[in-house]
Amino acid sequence: MKQAKMVLDRDYRISRIDDRIFGSFIEHLGRAVYGGIYEPGHPLADEMGFRTDVMDAVKKLGVPLIRYPGGNFVSGFHWEDSVGPVEQRPKRLDLAWFTTETNEVGLHEFARWAEKAGSEIMYAVNLGTRGPEQARDIVEYANHKGNSRLSDLRIKNGCRDPLGIKLWCLGNEMDGPWQMGQKTAYEYGRVANEAAKMMKWVDPSIELVACGSSSSEMPSFGDWELTMLNECYDSIDYVSLHRYYANPTGDTAGFLARTMDMDDFIKSVAAICDAVKGKKHSKKQVNLSFDEWNVWYHSREQDEEIWKREKWDRALPLLEDIYNFEDALLVGSMLITLLRNADRVKIACLAQLVNVIAPIMTRNGGGCWAQTIYYPFMHASKYGRGTALLAVTDSPRYDCSDYEGVPILDAAATQADDGSVTVFCVNRDLEESCLLDLDLRSFAPMKMQEHIMLHHDDVHAVNTEEKPNEVVPTTMPVEAVTDGQVQVKLPPLSWNVLRFG
Ligand code: AHR
């Protein structure tokens, strides 16, 4: 058995954790909305047509923030199509996903759904085919109290009180050639700055996220951030990061090391923000919004086939990745990475929430079940609130395809406001258990309350509608804490949540 050590000290803290790092994302894409959260006629649909079984699964995840309505979709979207009487809303071709958008679910309906789910909306405006004027218009429509053309239209459309959307994305992945209205960094920085000024003039209480590179692998990564921030640093509050990982070659050890890349990505973008801050002699710190992150690769070939057969149909079953056990381990490690960077990452969105690269799956007219990745997200969201502690670790390491010296123990620790401490850890070792020597001596006497563990002997095991409990967490025996010391065995390839109180 391998051995690792972790020391936690109640005075060594990284930062307060912003609850919004447990956000998610619903795009008008595939069956996320139509056939996902919304399916009128389903036996479990409510009076508005929203599926209550999906709502229950979302609520269990505890998602405080949902990015909406895209994604790539937003770069051709006309927000005005999504308000007013449903029967008068236009059907439009969506050039992002080659489907037809019917606008049956629009801003008001989604706001009602999000409220029921206990989530705030992070609303993305179209800076692809549209510009600052339409961006300030939707802020006026959503947030102005009344007595102006657009706020009165909202009231006429049945919503007297402002929707109070506090967080807005200035477009989506504007560096990508796949994006409608792709821009150079300078073009984007200028447009983002003007849109930001006007949106904040309408509602000074809002916060704005500027588009960073759509991935750290973009050739323009770095230059994009520098150039666009040079134009809009003073007007925005956060820079976005997007990253998806894949394991197309079946290299589990290399796949589980991908969070080394995620950590580098976060540190690099924070450094660029600080470089621009320094250059501008600014007192303001721009923080990070990791507003798309996940594993994504299982469904790509399937999507190509769907487009060959059914291009322009409504609610095509796109991006329906079926997640296996090793995907859940990486998602756990990605959550650990976000927690360890809680001083700079203030917003993060698991992309996405239902059916589209999602923890929750549904069948039209049928059931709703949790994919493997549902569990680490649920645990982190439930037990990872409060303060991120500095977890000082010493772990055996391994070398793999892309990285040298990857610690087999990947860990983060948090302290909740009631004083309880939670350690999240992944044992990346493919074969051996790891005995974790945990030193909690500076905390008041604690007992281990629970050890939740997720493991499956087959890294490719999945949950399905027929077998929804193939990969589910179990509880392990708790260990005695003596003089603040405890030893906990972490099985090979496992996600662990150790709770002390
Ligand atoms: O989340 C799926 C897509 O991935 C989003 O629409 C886009 O922003 C990203 O490329």
Residues 368 and 261 in one domain: yes
Shortest-distance atom of ligand 1 to CA 178: 10
Instruction: State the average pLDDT over residues 419-447.
Output: 96
Q: How confident is the model at residue 447 (pLDDT cuts 50, 70, 90)?
A: very high
Residue nearest ligand 1's atom 8 by CA:
71
Specify the residue with its C-alpha closest to ligand 1, atom 3. Answer: 71
From 170, 178, 292, the mutation candidate for ligand 1 (largest count of ligand atoms within 8 A of CB) is 292
Contacts of 430 (CB under 8 A, 6+ apart): 252, 253, 492, 493
Six token digits for residue 266: 């976060």
| From 24, 26, 27, 299, mutation site for ligand 1 pocket: most ligand atoms within 8 A of C-beta | 27
What is the residue type of 302? Q
Residue whose CA lies nearest to ligand 1 atom number 9:
71
Specify whether 206 is located in the same domain as 173.
yes
SS3 state at 245: strand
Q: CB of 351 within 8 A of CB of 357?
A: yes
Distance (Å) from CA 440 to ligand 1 centroid: 41
Give me the CATH number covering residue 221.
Answer: 3.20.20.80
**pLDDT confidence band for 491 (50 / 70 / 90):** very high
pLDDT tens-digit readout, 65-123: 999 999 999 999 999 999 999 999 999 999 999 999 999 999 999 999 999 999 999 99
Tokens representing residue 271 in the block: 């450094």
- Tell me the C-alpha distance between 453 and 472, whole Å: 9
Percent of the chain with pLDDT over 70: 100
Q: Give the confidence band of 207 by pLDDT, cuts at 50, 70, 90.
A: very high
Q: From the alpha carbon of 25, which atom of ligand 1 is closest?
A: 1
Which atom belonging to ligand 1 lies closest to the Cα atom of 27?
Answer: 6
Same domain assignment for residues 36 and 80: yes
**Between the CA of residue 184 and those of 11, 235, 288, 372, what are the distances in Å?**
45, 19, 21, 38
Whole-angstrom CA distances from 475 to 454, 472, 478, 498 are 9, 10, 9, 10
Last residue within a domain, chosen from 383, 412, 429: 383
Could you tell me where the DSSP H helices lie in 97-157?
A: 107-117, 132-143, 149-156
Predicted local distance difference test score (pLDDT) of residue 388:
98
Q: Which residues contact 241 (CB under 8 A, 6 or more apart)?
A: 212, 216, 265, 266, 269, 288, 289, 290, 291, 293
Query: Do 38 and 112 form a contact (C-beta atoms < 8 A)?
Result: no
Helix axes 52-61, 374-383, angle to 10 degrees: 50
> What's the rounded Cα separation, in Å, for the pair 191 and 125?
12
pLDDT at residue number 401: 86
Ligand 1 atom at minimal distance to the Cα of residue 97? 6
What pLDDT, on a 0 to 100 scale, did the predictor assign at position 152? 98
Q: Which residues contact 246 (CB under 8 A, 6 or more apart)?
A: 255, 295, 296, 297
Nearest CA to ligand 1 atom 2: 71
Token pair listed for 315? 């609610």
Q: Is the pLDDT of residue 367 over 90?
A: yes
Judge if 351 and 416 occupy the same domain.
no
Q: Which atom of ligand 1 is found nearest the CA of 73?
A: 6
Please report which helix (H) or strand (E) contains residue 498, including its range: strand 494-500
Q: How far is the CA of 211 from the centre of ligand 1 (A)?
A: 13
Model's pTM, two decimal places? 0.97
- CB of 71 shorter than 6 A to ligand 1: yes
> Same structural domain for residues 268 and 305?
yes
Of 365, 383, 401, the position where a domain reaches its end is 383
Q: Is 351 in the pocket of ligand 1 (CB under 6 A)?
A: yes
Residue 280 sits at φ, ψ, to 5 deg, of: -90, 0
Q: Which two tokens stand for residue 404?
A: 């040298």
CA of 117 to the centre of ligand 1 (A): 23
Instruction: Determine the distance from the C-alpha atom of residue 311 to the mean position of all C-alpha atoms in its chain, rounded to a whole number.
Output: 28
Q: Each residue of 147-184: pLDDT tens digit? A: 999 999 999 999 999 999 999 999 999 999 999 999 99
> Is the confidence at residue 131, as pLDDT, over 90?
yes
State whether 157 and 291 are in the same domain.
yes
Q: Ligand 1 center to residue 125 CA distance, Å?
A: 15
Shortest-distance atom of ligand 1 to CA 352: 1
Same domain for 95 and 183, yes or no, is yes
213 CB within 6 A, ligand 1: no
- Residue 250 and residue 398 share a domain: no
The residue-averaged pLDDT of 360-380 equals: 98
- pLDDT of 444 above 90: no
- Residue to probe by mutation, ligand 1, list 72, 316, 321, most atoms within 8 Å of CB: 72
Q: What is the pLDDT of residue 482?
A: 95
User: Are the C-beta atoms of residues 129 and 181 closer than 8 Å to each other?
Assistant: yes
Catalytic sites, residue numbers? 173, 292
Q: Are residues 101 and 182 in the same domain?
A: yes
Give 307 Cα–ligand 1 centroid separation in angstroms: 17
Instruction: Give the pLDDT of residue 441.
Output: 85
Tell me: do 338 and 429 sit in the same domain: no
pLDDT at 403 over 90: yes
Q: For residues 409-415, give the mean pLDDT.
A: 98
Considering the domain architecture, whether residues 359 and 415 belong to the same structural domain is answered as: no
- Residue 71 CA, ligand 1 centroid: distance in Å: 5
Q: Which of 330, 364, 383 is the last residue of a domain?
A: 383
**How many whole angstroms from 251 Cα to the centroid of ligand 1?**
25
Instruction: State the residue for tokens 């821009």.
Output: 183
* Average pLDDT of the residues of the chain: 97
Parent domain of 434: 2-9+389-500
The HSE-up count of residue 434 (CA atoms within 13 Å, CB side) is 28
420 and 315 part of one domain: no
Task: Say if CB 328 and CB 471 are below 8 A apart.
Answer: yes
Question: Residue whose CA is closest, atom 5 of ligand 1?
Answer: 71
Q: Whose CA is nearest to atom 4 of ligand 1?
A: 71
Element (H, E) at 201: helix 185-202
434 lines ligand 1 (CB under 6 A): no
Give tens-digit pLDDT for 16-50.
999 999 999 999 999 999 999 999 999 999 999 99
Q: What CA–CA distance (Å, rounded) separates 76 from 69?
A: 11
Q: What number of H helices and E strands is found in the chain?
A: 11, 25
Compute the C-alpha angle 39/151/79, nearest 5°: 45
pLDDT in tens, 273-294: 999 999 999 999 999 999 999 9
What's the pLDDT band for 6 if we cut at 50, 70, 90? very high
Per-residue pLDDT, averaged over 250-262, amounts to: 97
Q: Answer whether 173 contacts ligand 1 (Cβ < 6 A).
A: yes
For ligand 1, atom 6: residue with the closest CA: 71
Q: What is the DSSP letter of 79?
A: G
352 lines ligand 1 (CB under 6 A): yes
Domain count, the chain: 2
End-to-end CA separation in angstroms for the chain: 28
CA distance 489 to 76: 51
Residue 127 has what DSSP assignment? -
For tokens 């769907």, what's the residue? 306
Q: Check if the beta carbon of residue 66 is closer than 8 Å to that of residue 360.
A: no
Closest residue by CA, ligand 1 atom 7: 71
Rg of the chain over Cα atoms, rounded to whole angstroms, equals: 23
In the reported structure, the alpha carbon of residue 300 is separated from the centroid of ligand 1 by a whole-number distance in angstroms of 13
Q: How far is the CA of 290 from the centre of ligand 1 (A)?
A: 13
